[in-house]
Amino acid sequence: MSNLNKAERQNQLIHVIQQNRKMTASELATALNVSKRTISRDIAELEEQGVRIFAQHGKLGGFQIQQSQSKMALSISEEQLLALFLTLNESQSYSSLPYKQEIQEIIQQCLKLPNTRVRKLLKRMDKYIKFDTIEATPLPKLFSDILIYSAERNVMSVDFVSDNKMAAQNVIFIGILCKNAEWLAIVFDIGHGCTRELPILAIHDISYSFEKTLNTHDITIDNYTQFLNPSD
């Protein structure tokens, strides 16, 4: 049997079909060292992802990919995929290139990946990150943790530097904002009853608080500015 995982096998399947004018299910199964049932299942999944594979029946029949809609197989690591997804999302914020629809289609394909753990992380990145700048800046160390906390909406105890002094606050993470080449954690400050922008590089430690959580699901990365000032 093949030692390839499903994603690798399906990419290889696309490559084999593209390299040959027509191939039957039996020929594809032999080429990939899998069963005909696996080939049929992979073709069905690829079609669901938008790859246009069609079968021509008869003595000279076989599977083909519609060339104008052929899917390119990319061999990239998980970290490279996350970087690509983040870059595509960033470009949506300011790009003047005439490819916004195509970029959005790629983003939506990424969000439908079969790898559940990666798909969940990509969905968090899509929902909880916003770009207000085009200046590149490295990802901070706590980036992935804050994404998780933003999805959980639990009360967290945060130790951070403010005015050259250590401070501590109970907050609920709302999302992450890239602004003026700086990564900011958007949080709801429990003590002051308002949202604030907290530089992620200023954060020293984050831990779960015993304080009862509040319902903040009406506050998002897109509307948090409406809650910057405490309510009267």
Identify the CATH number of the domain defined by range 143-227.
Answer: 2.30.30
Task: Please name the helix (run of DSSP H) or strand (run of DSSP E) that holds residue 130, with its range, or none.
Answer: strand 129-131
d(CA 38, CA 54): 17
Kindly state the tokens that stand for 22: 């027509």
Average the pLDDT over 4-18 and give the result: 81
6-69 placed in CATH 3.60.110.10: no
Over 80: is that where the pLDDT of 224 sits?
yes
| Predicted local distance difference test score (pLDDT) of residue 48 | 79
The pLDDT assigned to 68 comes to 47
For the segment 135-173, what is each residue's pLDDT rounded down to a tens digit?
667 888 898 899 889 989 999 999 999 999 999 999 999
Provide the token pair at 209: 């608080």
pTM value is: 0.58
pLDDT digit string (tens) for 166-222? Answer: 999 999 999 999 888 889 999 999 999 999 999 999 999 999 998 888 899 899 999
pLDDT in tens, 116-144: 667 777 777 778 888 876 666 788 889 88
Residue 232: per-residue pLDDT:
46
In tens, the pLDDT along 99-115 reads 567 767 777 777 676 66
Work out the pLDDT band at 89, boundaries 50, 70, 90.
low
- Helix (H) / strand (E) element for 123: namely helix 116-128
pLDDT for the residue numbered 69: 47
For residue 16, give both structure tokens: 């084999």
The span from the CA of 125 to the CA of 102, in Å, is: 19
Instruction: For residue 33, count other CB atoms closer than 10 A to its CB.
Output: 12
Q: On the CB side of 27, how many CA atoms lie within 13 Å of its CA?
A: 12
Q: Which two tokens stand for residue 20?
A: 């040959």
Contacts of 76 (CB under 8 A, 6+ apart): 84
pLDDT at 92: 61
Mean pLDDT of 18-30: 81
Q: Which range (6-15, 41-50, 77-86, 147-156) has the least confidence?
A: 77-86
Nearest to 228 by CA among 178, 179, 174, 182: 174
Of 73, 86, 97, the C-alpha closest to 4 is: 73
Q: Where do the domains of the chain lie?
A: 6-69, 78-128, 143-227
Percent of the chain with pLDDT over 90: 28
| pLDDT at 99 (0 to 100) | 57
Classify the phi-psi angles of 140: left when phi > 0, otherwise alpha if psi is within -120 to 50, otherwise beta. Answer: beta
